[in-house]
Structure 1
């Protein structure tokens, strides 16, 4: 790993740069796929699935028999683990439910706010080098709680043209209405436009590689909303001498094994800890089945020493990590001063993988510095907030003149007339 000591502030932007391709490298490919899918529908999907995934798939919808087969292939211990995670995720997301907010803003003027589910949502579940069935829990559970009526799931097929049984089992368990064997740019474009087989949705959720991230952003140009920009995974750990080096190393590696473009960073006020963590990584990485992937991510990652908590906190907010582990003596100060992070993990016994699977919080989070503007997925992500107002005769008399004056000042006579007519009709009452 790259060790950096007391980096100058002017060097932070380069130091904290993510190991991602430039947008120009990706946009051309994404635009081409979108254009063809919009014009040719399923024909384009078949073409690009064969090109990108190396498999000919002419029936994208997962059949009932395939789902039933998957149910029998998932072991009982895994089913039980998924069930426990689902329960905790349901508890946390049901707690986010809120009722109607109602207030009388002026005499006779009633205003209120209610939430309604987004009717059609699309869930993108990465397959690739790891079948992320846990992401289904994070997306389908709140979608179901919110009351979304159509929950469409897309996930890339393997070389046999199938989807991993754990993905199918979890999707079935969580009430997904349709499952499709398609991934990458072509999946996002299919849910954006709709094809002969795959329905159009109103909002797309889910993480993916850099191509999927750009595809989701392009989808917004065609009137489809997205949860957030969520690309390659990242983790920043802040640790001092109170942290256990073996734990810190294991957390860094747990993110590094996601993909070669993942990034992990350790910030510390202890040079000794940096050295100890580096040694632990060298030992632990040799035991990982995904060692080659993790090693490439580690090569892009950094161990950063800073002299004070204040500098560390400023640097961390500048980076804005997707996942942020705090393992320091002065825990309260770091919690008080964090402004930009997706999900925060506190103390020696709170691994980031707990949030990935079973603590109950959501693991679909903004990456690449977007924590400065975006929240992670939550129950409200699957809902729309609608406002209502009802004004009585007394109410229109109360605020009518103010509306007339403001409309007149903006030169909008029809706006003024809409009030004036009402007020005149009440003069004789």
Structure 2
């Protein structure tokens, strides 16, 4: 069955290639949009049609809503898949798609707005009896309000932008003096980056683990989870290694987490694929962090343990179909790990764009979702991820062994990468024993 005649992919790199792959398997034609910097990128050649939408700078191409809408109209596109990043969580983009009668493969603009604000998301989760991190009730209106609230909560605290993401608009404060110093600058950063100066306070969770739940919902209010992903290996609040199942959870904790995620999704009336993100403390208590109203970078981890194609599910739901499977029919098998290979210094994490003069990759025991090939340029204009390395094994020990073997076979020349860091992580005893938190990279003596 063909769900759409033609899908435009409002993205680039590996996720564009990933979406093209599923569309081709379903007989759906694809349209790539690309910037001048990506004119010779593999995803452009793999799509059935391609439209240049502007210069290399993202704000003049991949973030230009009207140019992408125009490309969709010119190519008679039925639907737009946003991938992740760029416009994937922009409710204004969803509204423009609706105005032009183009199906947006994702949730509604209304839901995106609700969950795009950390404050309103907290309120919705509290209604659904999903635990949230202890913090301020609503927006902090002034420095005086912040100081008074902080005194009642107790330090240390996180000062957060309501519309923040990717670690932007977050500040750790240990005292009244630090709060007074950080307040105005955090509000200004929030206004500058997100056009929303709302901030709030949350208690700092010490020794935290970042665990998320993949959820999918259809327009008939059916909701399922596709289990959890452990995402605690991070640098600068950005993930490097993801795995599933989480080595931290016992079955009781897992059941409570998955039930809470589904409960929260039902409360807001969500549709399509999304991710509920949680933080765990060292005692096993969990709290809702935020919801990503899109496909995640790390979705292949879930696909590997379930054998399902999440992009296909997204297309089915967007075309009006109900969920392909009920919860009882979704099973997990074995263990999967994903490593993100970045063009960056493995210690400072500073980007290292350039030409991939050599890129030799193994072909066995691995899934490779890469946006580039040997001879490609890794552009300085976008995220420096080269690709994702995903392995599966019957258990965690064998999955780690498979990843170590695969990493040892990769050859990259022409630019600096974090390959050595990934190998170091797989060898680390704390990681091998599943005993790690979001402070893991800092524990290696790196900037994290």
How does the TM-score come out when normalised to structure 1? Answer: 0.33
Which of the pair has the greater relative contact order for Cα pairs under 8 Å at 6+ separation?
Answer: 1
How does the TM-score come out when normalised to structure 2? Answer: 0.32
